[in-house]
Amino acid sequence: MKAIVKKKLHTLFEQKGETEIFDGTKTKTYGYNGSFLGPVLRFNKGDKVKIKLINELDEDTTFHWHGLEVAGDADGGPHGIIEPGEEKLVEFKVTQEAATLWFHPHPDGKTSEQVYNGLAGLIYIEDDNSKSLDLPNKYGQNDIPLIFQDKTFDEKKQLNYNAAMNEDGTIGDTLLINGTLNPKLTVKKEKVRLRLLNGSNARNFTFKLNTGDSFEQIATGGGLLNEPVTMKEITLTPSERAEIVIDFSKLNTEDELALINEEDGSTLLPFEVSGQSREDSDIPEEMNDFSITDEEMDLPVTKKVELFGMMDKVTINGKKFDPERIDFTQKQGETEVWEIYNKPDEMGE
């Protein structure tokens, strides 16, 4: 993945390109400021960010910051269309805590295909707390971005979004990690932080070490947990992020080590462990201080949300998406309790 773009990023293009995913063959792809996927955008809490967005595709698109707390006019939802050849300047202030987010297009009805073609990138937010903690933070050395996406290619090795469509979306038979086929990751005998993004359309991943060894989860898509949680596997549905730390100094590196997908037993990412680290990080027992007060626990349910349906029949509380309608309003700074119900369909799924 490309070098980190620091705060001075001014322009983000959505563009078409060609990428050599298979040796000697060019695959038509989409990308941000390149032919496939995007750079990692790094923000600090408190930053005032100004980005010029340019649509160089020949279709409508938007630039959406998934998980960022940002005003609607800068968020690039389906209402924020940028037409082919057009550009738009967005400005926002980063107000939330350290987290791993991602960006992608979000035009109504075209989102998944544009992401599938390659429009996806990571956003890292850091804050004083995350910088003061002794977490692995050397980009590309012990702090690794990993975007997992399954694709289907036709016989000419071109992306085929419609090939394996089911009622959940499209699935693929070929895994790309950071846009790369069959990658492996070389690490030292130290604690390594993996920032996992499930960037697939409809596939879940349950990440697990092939040896069954445990690792620590330090963050969800919302930011750092209060304390690290030891676990042996973690499931991410599409769009979800998690940060995990694997301590390679504690693993038997004579074994072939790999991250596998417990859902189907497939190997996702083999590790090659070579060399000792000079200074290993020390994961703190306390990383954050989220709490819910007793008063908040006792609040009655403010809103009920019923999710139902598949594809273009998806509804929330029986209503389909309509950009002209606002269903919920709430006051900033006020705690609400939402009850979310995922209603099964006739098949009971």
Which residues lie near Cu ion (CB under 5 A)? 66
**Distance between CA 196 and CA 199 in Å, rounded?**
9
Nearer to Cu ion, 67 or 172 (CB): 67
Nearer Cβ to Cu ion, position 66 or 110?
Answer: 66
Q: Which lies closer to Cu ion via its Cβ, residue 28 or residue 66?
A: 66
Query: What's the min distance (Å) between Cβ of 335 and Cu ion?
Result: 24
In the complex, the smallest distance separating the C-beta of residue 185 from Cu ion, rounded to whole angstroms, is 26
Question: What tokens appear for 2 in the block?
Answer: 């490309």
Q: How far apart are CA 79 and CA 10, in angstroms?
A: 23
Question: Least distance from C-beta 160 to Cu ion, angstroms?
Answer: 23
The conformational region for residue 239 under phi > 0 = left, psi -120 to 50 = alpha, else beta, is left
**Shortest distance in whole angstroms from residue 155 CB to Cu ion:** 32
Q: Which of 148, 246, 266 is nearest to 189 (CA)?
A: 246
The span from the first CA to the last CA of the chain, in angstroms, equals 37
> CB-wise, 66 or 189, nearer to Cu ion?
66
Least separation in angstroms between residue 120's CB and Cu ion is 9
Cβ neighbors of 132 (< 8 A, separation 6 or more) are none
Backbone angles phi, psi at 74, to 5 degrees: -105, -5
Q: Which of 121, 266, 261, 248 is nearest to 195 (CA)?
A: 121
Smallest separation (angstroms) from Cu ion to the CB of 24: 34
Cα 90 to Cα 40, 63, 66, 126: the distances in Å are 18, 10, 15, 21
Running DSSP on this structure, what letter comes out for residue 159? Answer: B
Of 221 and 228, the one with the shorter C-beta distance to Cu ion is 221
CB nearer to Cu ion: pick between 101 and 175:
101
